[in-house]
Copies of this chain bind each other. A is one copy, B any other.
């Protein structure tokens, strides 16, 4: 028996390799940013083929735990919230019908909380930045640009809330395709003007450093889309 821990007999060798590497990171044997041995060495170390090891590495790569740089090596990511929650957007991309509404409900809850926190913590700089995105949204009619500033507006707020994990989660919930899909029909219903009004209300609450007003404004904002979605038959 070697000292690196005897591998469990269950599951595929690849699955075991994934668990082994995860365990190495969890208990500190591998630190964020550190470089791993080569695929060939790792495979030899765990007694499996390079193919299987590559599958394990690929799996951890899509999870945002590892990062492979061609010609250089394999590295543990910094394990920031953004790294690990990037895959969260996949859920939004693949969700339809009822779960889309559920995701919006989750977003409403988180966005409300984040906005309330931001009202108390936001710096003048960030408040101004949010204001710029607000102005840009009101100045353009181009849907793409509008969406970009919309996302940026909420991102500034999420970051200002001081919880990177929450911000990353909201980022995934508002991912490009997700938003684009929902808004396609939404804005055709003439809700564009109301959306602008809601954004302005959020900004005002932030400027007033009023957490409760901010929470309410954010909840109303997301809730508006939510209600529309629950009524709308979606493809």
Contact = CB atoms under 8 A, between A and B. Distances in A.
A52 to B, nearest CB: 10
Interface stretch (A89-97, A136-144, A203-211): A89-97
Interface in A137-154: none
A226 to B, nearest CB: 12
Contacts of A202: none
B84 A65 contact: no
A230 interface: no
B113 A99 contact: no
Nearest to A163: B102
Interface residues on A, range: 35 or more
Contacts of A22: 90, 93-94
A55 interface: yes
A105 B61 CA distance: 27
A105 B165 CA distance: 9
A109 B103 contact: no
A99 B81 contact: yes
Nearest to A103: B165
17 contacts: A14-B58, A55-B55, A55-B58, A62-B63, A65-B94, A79-B95, A81-B91, A84-B90, A84-B94, A84-B95, A99-B164, A99-B165, A102-B164, A106-B165, A106-B166, A106-B169, A109-B166
Interface of A: 14, 18, 22, 25-26, 51, 54-55, 58-59, 61-63, 65, 79, 81, 84-85, 87-88, 90-91, 93-95, 99, 102-103, 105-106, 109-110, 113, 163-166, 169
